[in-house]
Chains A and B, each alone.
Chain A
Amino acid sequence: MSPANSAWSNVMAIAKRELAGYFASPVAYVFIVIFLLLTGFFTFNVANFFEASEASLRGFFYWHPWLYLFLVPAIGMRLWSEERRQGTIELLLTLPVTPWQAILGKFLASWAFLAIALALTFPIWITVNYLGDPDNGAIIAGYVGSLLLAGAYLAITCMTSALTRNQVIAFILAVVVCFLMMMAGYSAVTDFIARWLSPGAVDTVASFSTITHFDPFSQKGLIELRDVVFFVSVMAFALFTTGVIIRAHRGG
């Protein structure tokens, strides 16, 4: 087995274990049901899917940043804090795997889980196609953006989860960080910055906002490179920081 090959098979072995761990407990099914109920509720009640009389999933995607704000940290909070609490981190990191393989494997497993939950919203897609004639390209862009957004929140949760052996603390920290990143794009915040700080800072702050980068996917149906780069960078940065935190803990 070549080194690259065995590195990847380590990542997959770890991801497989983690994903199986989700489905071994009822929590996973409860999560999926809650996720579907909430997306349904937001889409049909809050976003007035039927009254909007347009065949698109804009209303559906519009609420994803808010839904994910709580649901993604709930899925990711245990990733490292549980390893630390149970002491299995010592087992994992003394097996012949690198910390990066472990971090990536765990992240990919949770991301795959979120992707499964997201994929299960397909009845909504079918519904709009049944009722009207939507731009399916825009809907695909929306799904891609939604998955990237979930990945970014998840990577941040990985990072907070590595900080503590307490899942609840990991959850709260992740929600706070994700919330701040979201708010940076809302007009209430940008107005405040424009008025009290410098107007020039608005763009800088807003460029760190998940909303700013999610809107083109969800509302305009566009997959723009800079938005993709943004989400991928957030994931890369947060996972890198996770590695630094884990290393620091081992150093004592």
Chain B
Amino acid sequence: MRRQETSTGLHGHEPLELRPATGAHPTRIERSAGRREAGASAPAPQRNAHFGCRLVEGAGGHSKARLRYHYESEDMIKVENLRKTFGPKVAVNNISFNVERGEVLGFLGPNGAGKSTTMRMITGFYPPDAGTIRVGNHDVVEEPIQAKRLIGYLPENAPSYSDMTVRGFLGFAAEVRGLRGHAKRNAVNGVIEMCFLDAVVNQSVDTLSKGYKHRTCLAQSLLHDPEVLILDEPTDGLDPNQKFEVRSLIKRMSEKKAIVFSTHILEEVESVCTRAIIIDRGVIVANGTPEDLKARSNLAGAVTLSVQGANSQAITDKLASLPQVEQTQAISVKDGVIVVRAFPRASEASALALGVAELARAQGWRVNEMRVEEGRLDEVFRRITMPDTVKRAAAGVNA
């Protein structure tokens, strides 16, 4: 049932590399060795002093245990061939990926793609139909409690007990996390500060605005300073300032944790993630750094030129005659300014800008602006996850 990319895209470029239906692993993008080394030789991360909880479960501060822990388990989350069906509906189909400490993995995909279902399996809420999940060194199905101790989880829609106060709710979560007395109070105060909840600590949860409710549930997930953080749409329903705060919070915490978060907002992926996975209909269709994904855009490497003048045809013709140019496109003519775009041949992408610049000088064009496009994530996203019918229609129109 997997679609095939029939058209070569809008501008005759290389089609996106699509994964086979079996969901074979997309190439892992390895992090640079230097960074890995730095992580390993750095002193064991010092937990925030006021979070009175352990780094290694039960290891209560034996430095040996800490070091071993740090050397051996860089992969904090290992998901292999995960599958989940609801009746006849296959929600997650053979998904595999790893997340290392220090990584922030963005989970993208249209609604109903299977993001939340995957996260619910990682956090032990849904048992998988097939496949394995390891968090830290624990299999989530075999040792759910040990795995859950390592995880902080913000479920979709940020549920919380509406009849409790913010402080009461966080206190309850802390107790279930095994924190008591001083440790509990410090942990609760710590997350209240981190998530800017000071103003509402004694307010009952059902009287909170959506943003505060969301952050209350987020605070709950941070109480035990978890190694693994799973956030299902953490910025959903927040205003732009709150979104910014949550993003900075994620970035601040990312160094010592493995973080997975799902989102619809693509700019969030670019600003926060070290890697992104796109899921569509239960299958991983792309896996790479935001830069990798952007480079797959049709737009990537294209040169956009604003020139003063009126005859766009003459300009596009000249551009098309360059050996580096595969195709040209007139974008707009307005107020005596022509905007045109040249798309490079695959082999000549790096030489395009120079070629265009020399041509402009030779022709004496009055260039207002010249820009090499990075590629746009939303365009890549749309193209990968577009339903078959829409895709076929689009291909027909552009053929």
Interface residues of A (CB under 8 A from B): 1, 6, 9-10, 13-14, 16-17, 20-21, 24-25, 86-88, 90-91, 93-98, 250-252
User: Are A96 and B148 in contact, CB atoms less than 8 angstroms apart?
Assistant: yes
- Partner among B120, B125, B148, B163 whose Cβ is within 8 Å of the Cβ of A25: B163
- Partner among B145, B159, B162, B177 whose Cβ is within 8 Å of the Cβ of A91: B159
Given contacts A250-B127, A251-B127, contact A91 B155 (CB under 8 A): yes
User: Are B168 and A90 in contact, CB atoms less than 8 angstroms apart?
Assistant: no
Of all chain A residues, the one with the shortest Cβ separation from B175 is A13
User: Are B126 and A250 in contact, CB atoms less than 8 angstroms apart?
Assistant: yes
List residues 112-126 of chain B with CB under 8 A from any CB of chain A: 120, 123-126
Expressed in whole angstroms, the minimum distance between the Cβ of B211 and any Cβ of chain A is: 18
User: Are A90 and B155 in contact, CB atoms less than 8 angstroms apart?
Assistant: yes
- Partner among B144, B159, B168, B178 whose Cβ is within 8 Å of the Cβ of A86: B159
In the assembled complex, the Cα of A13 lies from the Cα of B84 at a distance in Å of 32
List residues 48-96 of chain B with CB under 8 A from any CB of chain A: 84-86, 91
Expressed in whole angstroms, the minimum distance between the Cβ of B163 and any Cβ of chain A is: 5
For A16, what are the chain B residues with a Cβ–Cβ distance below 8 Å? 172, 175
For A98, what are the chain B residues with a Cβ–Cβ distance below 8 Å? 144-145
Interface centre among B84, B162, B175 (most CB of A within 10 A): B175
Interface residues as binary, B147-183 with A (CB distance below 8 Å gives 1, 0 otherwise): 0110101010101111110001000110111100000
Of all chain B residues, the one with the shortest Cβ separation from A85 is B159
User: Are B164 and A88 in contact, CB atoms less than 8 angstroms apart?
Assistant: no
User: Are A90 and B148 in contact, CB atoms less than 8 angstroms apart?
Assistant: no
For B160, what are the chain A residues with a Cβ–Cβ distance below 8 Å? 88, 91
For A14, what are the chain B residues with a Cβ–Cβ distance below 8 Å? 176
For B177, what are the chain A residues with a Cβ–Cβ distance below 8 Å? 95-96
| 3 nearest CB pairs, A to B | A87-B159, A13-B175, A96-B148
User: Are B155 and A10 in contact, CB atoms less than 8 angstroms apart?
Assistant: no
In the assembled complex, the Cα of A134 lies from the Cα of B348 at a distance in Å of 103
User: Are A94 and B148 in contact, CB atoms less than 8 angstroms apart?
Assistant: yes
User: Are B155 and A94 in contact, CB atoms less than 8 angstroms apart?
Assistant: yes
User: Are A21 and B159 in contact, CB atoms less than 8 angstroms apart?
Assistant: no
Asked if B353 is at the interface (CB within 8 A of a chain A CB), the reply is no
Asked if B217 is at the interface (CB within 8 A of a chain A CB), the reply is yes
- Partner among B84, B145, B155, B217 whose Cβ is within 8 Å of the Cβ of A96: B145
Expressed in whole angstroms, the minimum distance between the Cβ of B293 and any Cβ of chain A is: 30
Given contacts A13-B175, A13-B176, A94-B123, 11 further A-B contacts (CB under 8 A): A9-B178, A17-B168, A24-B164, A87-B155, A91-B155, A95-B177, A98-B145, A250-B126, A251-B126, A251-B127, A252-B84
Asked if B306 is at the interface (CB within 8 A of a chain A CB), the reply is no
Of all chain A residues, the one with the shortest Cβ separation from B230 is A94
For A25, what are the chain B residues with a Cβ–Cβ distance below 8 Å? 163
Of all chain A residues, the one with the shortest Cβ separation from B91 is A252
Expressed in whole angstroms, the minimum distance between the Cβ of A11 and any Cβ of chain B is: 10
Interface residues of chain B: helix, strand, loop or mixed (majority)? mixed
Asked if B220 is at the interface (CB within 8 A of a chain A CB), the reply is yes
For B85, what are the chain A residues with a Cβ–Cβ distance below 8 Å? 252
Count residues of chain B with CB under 8 A from any CB of chain A.
Answer: 33
Expressed in whole angstroms, the minimum distance between the Cβ of B199 and any Cβ of chain A is: 21
For B178, what are the chain A residues with a Cβ–Cβ distance below 8 Å? 1, 6, 9, 96
Of all chain B residues, the one with the shortest Cβ separation from A87 is B159
Interface centre among A16, A98, A252 (most CB of B within 10 A): A252
For A88, what are the chain B residues with a Cβ–Cβ distance below 8 Å? 159-161
For A86, what are the chain B residues with a Cβ–Cβ distance below 8 Å? 159, 161-162
In the assembled complex, the Cα of A195 lies from the Cα of B172 at a distance in Å of 56
List residues 172-230 of chain B with CB under 8 A from any CB of chain A: 172-173, 175-178, 217, 220
Expressed in whole angstroms, the minimum distance between the Cβ of A66 and any Cβ of chain B is: 30
In the assembled complex, the Cα of A250 lies from the Cα of B163 at a distance in Å of 24
User: Are B86 and A21 in contact, CB atoms less than 8 angstroms apart?
Assistant: no
In the assembled complex, the Cα of A25 lies from the Cα of B123 at a distance in Å of 32
For A17, what are the chain B residues with a Cβ–Cβ distance below 8 Å? 161, 164, 168, 172
User: Are A90 and B145 in contact, CB atoms less than 8 angstroms apart?
Assistant: no
In the assembled complex, the Cα of A252 lies from the Cα of B144 at a distance in Å of 18
In the assembled complex, the Cα of A41 lies from the Cα of B342 at a distance in Å of 90
User: Are B120 and A90 in contact, CB atoms less than 8 angstroms apart?
Assistant: yes
For B151, what are the chain A residues with a Cβ–Cβ distance below 8 Å? 94
Expressed in whole angstroms, the minimum distance between the Cβ of A48 and any Cβ of chain B is: 41
User: Are A250 and B125 in contact, CB atoms less than 8 angstroms apart?
Assistant: yes
Expressed in whole angstroms, the minimum distance between the Cβ of B85 and any Cβ of chain A is: 8
In the assembled complex, the Cα of A250 lies from the Cα of B84 at a distance in Å of 12
For B164, what are the chain A residues with a Cβ–Cβ distance below 8 Å? 17, 20-21, 24
For B124, what are the chain A residues with a Cβ–Cβ distance below 8 Å? 93-94
23 contacts between A and B (CB under 8 A): A9-B175, A13-B176, A16-B175, A17-B161, A17-B164, A20-B168, A21-B161, A87-B155, A87-B157, A88-B160, A88-B161, A90-B155, A91-B155, A91-B159, A91-B217, A93-B124, A94-B123, A95-B173, A96-B148, A250-B125, A250-B126, A250-B127, A251-B126
Given contacts A91-B155, A91-B220, contact A24 B163 (CB under 8 A): yes
In the assembled complex, the Cα of A24 lies from the Cα of B161 at a distance in Å of 12
User: Are B123 and A21 in contact, CB atoms less than 8 angstroms apart?
Assistant: no
Expressed in whole angstroms, the minimum distance between the Cβ of A27 and any Cβ of chain B is: 10
In the assembled complex, the Cα of A90 lies from the Cα of B117 at a distance in Å of 12
Expressed in whole angstroms, the minimum distance between the Cβ of A113 and any Cβ of chain B is: 14
Expressed in whole angstroms, the minimum distance between the Cβ of A143 and any Cβ of chain B is: 30
For A93, what are the chain B residues with a Cβ–Cβ distance below 8 Å? 124-125
In the assembled complex, the Cα of A141 lies from the Cα of B274 at a distance in Å of 67
For B168, what are the chain A residues with a Cβ–Cβ distance below 8 Å? 17, 20
User: Are A95 and B159 in contact, CB atoms less than 8 angstroms apart?
Assistant: no
